[in-house]
Amino acid sequence: MNFRPFTVRPTRRRFQLTGIAALLLGLSAACSSPPAAPVKPEVKGPEFLTGRSAFQKCYVAARGWSRDAQPFRIESLPTTEGNGQDGKAPIWRASFGSVATHAAKPYFWSGSATPDAPSRGVSPGPEDSFTPTNASTYTFDAAFLKIDSDQAFDVAQKHKGEKITSADPAAIVTYVCDFDHNTNKLIWHVVYGAKRETAKLTIAVDASTGEFIREEK
């Protein structure tokens, strides 16, 4: 006589009890787990650009403000994040004038991480009145800007600038670009200091050819 092996099959109720026990065990583990730590936002460091690169970004925004907008000044703004000795800065301001609207408007490019800096990217400043014949707001054609601030710095270094940076490797160098209507030249002013008024030296470099023009101080 053949006998089949005797197998004990779990009942449906046993399956239900096992499922409930597993659920309770999972809930207990979840309640005892520590809360997930909050994700901290990534803190970005400063970004640096040369003057010509920053200007091109601002120029696009200025043309959106007024189709006839033309630049009359480009300048770097010193911060504690860099000394400018490579021709780059974390903040640049480009100022534009519009004959059609009789208004002037600055645009900022910022890659700065300091709390009081303009927002990252390009942002506008407040409008002001504009007089095209004023020597301090004499506009220029952007096509004249062929030499960048880092190239102007290299030229300035060869004309007494290197003596200053060698003596003080942390010396601040700032940049101003504007049009000299007397000589009909677009000029980079390489300023060895945070301000032109208190600078140890300022070297003028032709922003179209890269030639040394003069020592201004």
With 0-12 / 13-18 / 19 or more C-beta atoms within 10 angstroms meaning exposed / middle / buried, residue 140 is buried
145 in a structural domain: yes
Each residue of 179-215: b (16+ CB within 10 Å) or e? Answer: bbeeeebbbbbbbbbeeeeebbbbbbbbbbeeeebee
120 in a structural domain: yes
14 in a structural domain: no
Percent of the chain at pLDDT > 70 equals: 80
68 in a structural domain: yes
What's the whole-model pTM score?
A: 0.80
> The domain containing residue 55 runs over which residues?
49-215
27 in a structural domain: no
Residue with tokens 């470099």: 205
Short-list 76, 53, 72, CA closest to 173: 76
34 in a structural domain: no
Here the tokens at position 96 are 């534009």
Number of domains into which the chain is organized: 1
Please write the tens of the pLDDT for every residue from 88-144: 999 999 999 999 999 999 999 999 999 989 999 999 999 999 999 998 999 999 999
15 in a structural domain: no
210 in a structural domain: yes
